[in-house]
């Protein structure tokens, strides 16, 4: 197999704090350290994680182009979609894509000439596949699915506009994704979900687990946490780390925590993260009179130190693509409990061998599992050994082999 360094471009909408961005950062860095020329291309050059991108990885933003100038490129390859977009531009219907961004991406592919374009999240993969099909430079495409699309689609039903957008996106995915050179999902459950949503054979989507556990994670986990909650004689801390969003079901965790307090447990709960549910969760905490027992400090610079010093890590999600935070907590030697939600937790915990799994939305069962794990925690070394199966090195090995293979097959 060809092992020459490749020109690899990662294309995302932007680069905020989040699990997907952390995974992308680790993967980009790992590939760059192996001699590949890696670039990060964004629709909008914004996001807190930009500060973490190593200097060896250039960060670019799509150059804005006139939407009207794009039709001469768009019409020959995608006439039906071009006319639909034109109707939207004239105010006669919805627009499915930002055409000026598509033309900017085509310009980038033709001027920078990467070997492969790797894209994930939102509409970025659709733009990537359209641009790759139109550009005069032949580029391989890899689409990575980090979540369960069917559950995101179902969650959008509450809003008619968002649901219509998601339905249109699914239609475009069914039309475009079969043309990708590689379809990757971050768990077996996500791979099955994506294949089923797109009506594709299940072996069409390959599972590659995220790069999660690195040497730097272990090093940073050893740092102290300068917080009174982690003083020597302080009550045990139960920890969660997630975007404060409905699918994370943090209200269930708070309810379960309240049940433990009512049973006489002397404990604290810390929830790391930010998101749209902060106000509602704060209201729940106040109604349950938990203000002195529950804290939500937002994103912290080093969550791994919090994980190492906590007595228990809990994921209460309604669904997950993989659940990087479960793996990170285990890598820090922290016992874990998770909802048995669709997605990766059951795969990570090997059907419950490395942590209790409880039914989604069942606060009583979650409280019981938390109490049991606090009373009989597993060996930290056993947890670290399991987490090592999700190492950065192994994931980068798998991605690199896949990239080399499809780039070789792409050659005329």
Tens digits of residue pLDDT in 155-167: 877 766 678 878 8
Q: What percent of the chain has pLDDT over 90?
A: 76
Beta bridge partners of 10: 40, 118
Lowest mean pLDDT segment, chosen from 94-103, 228-237, 358-367 = 94-103
Same domain, 154 and 61: yes
What's the Cα-to-Cα distance from 252 to each of 73, 249, 292, 367, rounded to whole Å? Answer: 50, 6, 19, 10
Same domain, 183 and 201: yes
Q: Which residues contact 410 (CB under 8 A, 6 or more apart)?
A: 115, 138, 140, 181
Same domain, 401 and 320: no
Same domain, 367 and 224: yes
Q: What is the mean pLDDT of the chain?
A: 91
Confidence category of residue 1, pLDDT binned at 50, 70, 90: very low
Q: Which residues contact 185 (CB under 8 A, 6 or more apart)?
A: 144, 145, 191, 193, 194, 205, 206, 207, 208, 321
Same domain, 230 and 151: no
8 A C-beta contact, residue 306 and residue 275: no
Look at the chain and report how many structural domains it folds into: 2
8 A C-beta contact, residue 263 and residue 368: no
Among the listed residues 311, 268, 310, 308, the one whose alpha carbon sits nearest the alpha carbon of residue 291: 268
CA distance 215 to 5: 24
In this structure, what DSSP letter does residue 376 have?
S
For the CA atoms of 346, 350, 355, 357, the dihedral, rounded to the nearest 10 degrees, stands at 30
In this structure, what DSSP letter does residue 53 have?
S
- Helix/strand/coil (H, E, C) string of 116-180? EEEECCCCHHHHHHHHHHHCCCCCEEEEEECCCHHHHHHHHHHCHHHHHHHHHHHHHHHHHHHHC
Q: Is residue 12 part of a domain?
A: yes
Q: Which residues contact 343 (CB under 8 A, 6 or more apart)?
A: 147, 148, 187, 189, 190, 317, 319, 320, 321, 322, 323
Q: Is residue 313 part of a domain?
A: yes
Neighbouring C-beta atoms of residue 277, cutoff 10 Å: 20
First to last CA, the chain: 15
Same domain, 375 and 399: no
Mean pLDDT of 257-278: 97
Q: What is the pTM of this model?
A: 0.89
Q: Is residue 46 part of a domain?
A: yes
The strand ranges marked E within 68-130 are 116-119
Same domain, 244 and 102: no
Q: Is residue 2 part of a domain?
A: no
Q: What percent of the chain has pLDDT over 70?
A: 90
Radius of gyration of the chain (CA): 22
Q: What is the pLDDT of residue 172?
A: 86
Tens digits of residue pLDDT in 78-130: 666 665 655 555 555 555 566 778 888 988 999 999 999 999 988 899 999 98
Helix ranges (H only) for 212-341 are: 215-221, 250-262, 278-287, 303-309, 324-331
Q: Is residue 1 part of a domain?
A: no
Q: Is residue 266 part of a domain?
A: yes
Q: Is residue 91 part of a domain?
A: yes
Q: Is residue 41 part of a domain?
A: yes
What's the Cα-to-Cα distance from 299 to each of 105, 163, 224, 274, 319, rounded to whole Å? Answer: 32, 29, 17, 6, 21
Assign residue 323 the CATH number of its domain.
3.40.50.2000
Same domain, 51 and 144: yes
Same domain, 339 and 240: yes
Range of the domain at 32: 7-210+391-410
Same domain, 193 and 260: no
Same domain, 154 and 228: no
Three-class secondary structure of residue 371 per DSSP:
helix
Neighbouring C-beta atoms of residue 258, cutoff 10 Å: 21
Same domain, 310 and 326: yes
Q: What is the pLDDT of residue 309?
A: 97
Q: Is the pLDDT of residue 364 over 70?
A: yes
Residue 161 CB burial class (10 angstroms; 0-12, 13-18, ≥19): exposed
């Amino acid at each position: 197999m060809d092992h020459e360094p490749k020109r690899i471009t990662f294309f995302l909408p932007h680069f905020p704090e989040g699990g997907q961005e952390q995974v992308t950062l680790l993967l980009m860095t790992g590939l760059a350290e192996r001699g590949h020329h890696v670039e990060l291309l964004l629709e909008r050059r914004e996001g807190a994680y930009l500060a973490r991108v190593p200097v060896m990885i250039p960060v670019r933003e799509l150059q804005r182009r006139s939407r009207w100038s794009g039709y001469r490129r768009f019409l020959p390859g995608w006439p039906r979609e071009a006319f639909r977009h034109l109707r939207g531009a004239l105010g006669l219907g919805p627009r499915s894509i930002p055409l000026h961004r598509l033309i900017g991406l085509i310009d980038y592919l033709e001027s920078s000439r990467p070997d492969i374009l790797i894209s994930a999240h939102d509409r970025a993969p659709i733009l990537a596949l359209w641009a790759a099909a139109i550009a005069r430079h032949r580029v391989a495409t890899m689409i990575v699915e980090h979540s369960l699309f069917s559950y995101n689609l179902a969650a959008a039903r509450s809003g008619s506009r968002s649901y219509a957008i998601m339905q249109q996106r699914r239609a475009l995915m069914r039309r475009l994704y079969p043309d990708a050179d590689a379809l990757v999902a971050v768990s077996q459950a996500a791979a099955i979900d994506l294949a089923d949503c797109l009506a594709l054979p299940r072996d069409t989507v390959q599972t590659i687990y995220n790069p999660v556990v690195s040497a730097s994670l272990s090093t940073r986990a050893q740092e102290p946490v300068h917080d009174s909650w982690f003083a020597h004689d302080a009550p045990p801390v139960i920890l969660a780390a997630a975007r404060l969003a409905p699918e994370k079901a943090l209200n269930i965790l708070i309810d379960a925590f309240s049940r433990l307090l009512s049973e006489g447990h002397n404990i604290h709960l810390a929830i790391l993260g930010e998101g749209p549910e902060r106000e509602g969760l704060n209201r729940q905490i106040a109604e349950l009179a938990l203000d002195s027992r529950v804290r939500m400090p937002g994103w912290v610079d080093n969550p791994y130190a919090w994980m190492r010093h906590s007595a228990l890590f809990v994921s209460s999600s309604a669904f997950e693509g993989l659940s990087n935070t479960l793996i990170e907590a285990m890598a820090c030697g922290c016992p874990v409990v998770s909802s048995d939600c669709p997605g990766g937790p059951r795969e990570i915990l090997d059907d419950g061998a490395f942590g209790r799994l409880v039914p989604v939305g069942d606060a009583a069962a979650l409280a019981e599992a938390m109490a049991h794990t606090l009373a009989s925690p597993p060996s930290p070394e056993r947890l670290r050994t399991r987490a090592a199966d999700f190492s950065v090195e192994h994931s980068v090995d798998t991605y690199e082999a896949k990239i080399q293979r499809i780039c070789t097959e792409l050659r005329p």
